[in-house]
């Protein structure tokens, strides 16, 4: 049995993943524990919510039974305690590295945990190298794409450009989006409307950015506050012509890749691993730290980006990578 441990708060990513696994693989071979205060809710036939703090024994019991454990990020310090008391679990644990859990270290036990992980999954080698250098880990690397967050974008019909340019700023109400810096860059442009998804993150920062955005752009800003399905969200992205992601680290990859697939112009920070990844793959992307313009991406760049992205972010690749992950021996590969 392959045990997956994830946070129920990441339902926008983990629920589609569970559906994908159940559709293309044997669901009897996979069991999902979704960490949540809402205990014992059956999300799917093979997925249940559990409180990692008060139902720790259930986690340990399932981890002992599992042939392989896949951590979809790690969001709670309690997981460190479980591994401290059961270090043998490291041998069969595969960690899909999300971002915040290794960019923001929480002390010695956090560093110890990452250093002792034996298997790390990510589709960007640059992220693995960041983890390896920062935490001095000897973990083996699996360059796999496992989440089907990008392929929906291939199915949309591109819309005609609107008279008013739709500009996306950020992907959440996490302060790491640095919205204000982008607002000040864009405030000089006319005939634009901003799209700001602020569904999840910091509620105080969300209120602050909403007030500042409406003060600067009046009615020409749409603050997205309610969760929607992935398909609905992709339709909203399809209205966007240009997007700005002002993160200081790898973040918002689902948004960025979906927008690029749909032929949009995207600005990101040129000092992060995401920039290095896209540059290495030959994808046309723009530096948010340089002078900006609101010209759309030219047709040649749109076509070139799509051709490259078809190889990198296809449903077939996800199926193949998951099959390799599920079937690989615990020796793995470097």
- DSSP states along 253-277: HHHHHHHHHTT-EEEE-TTSHHHHH
Instruction: Indicate if the pLDDT at residue 105 is higher than 90.
Output: no
Q: Is the per-residue pLDDT at 332 higher than 60?
A: no
User: Same domain, yes or no, for 72 and 122?
Assistant: yes
Q: Is residue 334 part of a domain?
A: no
Is 99's pLDDT higher than 90? no
- How far is it, in rounded angstroms, from Cα 168 to Cα 152? 19
Say yes or no: 136 and 169 in one domain: no
The answer to whether the predicted template modeling score (pTM) of the entire model surpasses 0.75 is yes
Do 241 and 139 belong to one domain?
Answer: no
pLDDT of 117 higher than 80: yes
In angstroms, the Cα distances linking 103 to 106, 219, 226, 253, 257 are 10, 36, 27, 15, 21
First to last CA, the chain: 24
- Between residues 101 and 321, the one the model is more confident about: 321
Residue 53 has a pLDDT of 93
Cβ contacts of residue 232 below 8 Å, gap of 6+?
Answer: none
Rounded CA separation 101/120 (Å): 13
The domain of 177 spans 151-312
- The encoded tokens of residue 36 equal 């949540």
Same domain for 102 and 60: yes
Tell me the pLDDT band of 259, cut-offs 50, 70 and 90. very high
Q: Decide: 192 and 165 in contact? Cβ < 8 Å.
A: yes
Least confident of 27-36, 59-68, 229-238: 229-238
Confidence of residue 163 (pLDDT cuts 50, 70, 90): low
Looking at the domain assignment, is residue 177 inside a domain? yes
Residues 323 and 300 in one domain: no
Beta bridge partners of 35: 7, 50
Domain count, the chain: 2
Q: Are residues 143 and 231 in the same domain?
A: no
pLDDT number for residue 24: 96
pLDDT of residue 334: 41
Q: CA angle, 28 as apex, 26 and 30 as ends, to 5°?
A: 85
Grade residue 333 by pLDDT with cuts at 50, 70 and 90: very low
Same domain (yes/no): 17, 91: yes
Same domain, 130 and 157: no
């Amino acid at each position: 049995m392959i045990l997956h441990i994830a946070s129920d708060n990441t339902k926008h990513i983990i629920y589609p993943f569970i559906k994908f696994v159940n559709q293309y693989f044997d669901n009897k071979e996979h069991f999902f524990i979704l960490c949540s205060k809402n205990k014992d809710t059956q999300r799917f036939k093979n997925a249940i919510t559990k409180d990692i703090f008060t139902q720790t024994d259930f986690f340990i019991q399932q981890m002992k039974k599992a042939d392989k454990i896949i951590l979809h990020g790690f969001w709670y310090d309690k997981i460190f305690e479980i591994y401290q008391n059961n270090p043998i679990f490291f041998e069969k644990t595969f960690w899909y590295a999300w971002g915040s859990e290794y960019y923001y270290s929480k002390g010695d036990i956090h560093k110890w945990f990452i250093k002792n992980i034996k298997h790390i999954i990510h589709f960007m080698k640059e992220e693995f190298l960041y983890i390896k250098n920062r935490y001095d880990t000897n973990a083996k690397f699996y360059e796999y794409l496992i989440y089907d967050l990008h392929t929906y974008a291939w199915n949309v019909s591109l819309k005609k450009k609107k008279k008013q340019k739709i500009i996306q700023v950020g992907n959440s109400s996490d302060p790491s989006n640095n919205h204000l810096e982008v607002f000040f860059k864009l405030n000089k442009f006319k005939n634009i409307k901003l799209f700001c998804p602020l569904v999840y993150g910091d509620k105080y920062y969300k209120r602050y950015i909403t007030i500042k955005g409406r003060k600067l752009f009046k009615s020409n800003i749409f603050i997205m506050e309610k969760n929607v399905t992935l398909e609905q969200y992709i339709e909203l992205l399809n209205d966007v012509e240009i997007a700005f992601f002002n993160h200081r680290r790898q973040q918002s990859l689902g948004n960025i890749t979906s927008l690029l697939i749909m032929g949009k112009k995207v600005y990101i920070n040129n000092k992060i691993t995401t920039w290095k990844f896209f540059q290495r793959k030959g994808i046309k992307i723009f530096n948010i730290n340089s002078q900006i313009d609101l010209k759309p991406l030219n047709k040649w760049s749109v076509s070139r980006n799509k051709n490259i992205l078809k190889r990198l972010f296809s449903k077939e690749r996800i199926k193949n990578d998951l099959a390799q992950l599920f079937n690989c021996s615990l020796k793995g590969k470097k």
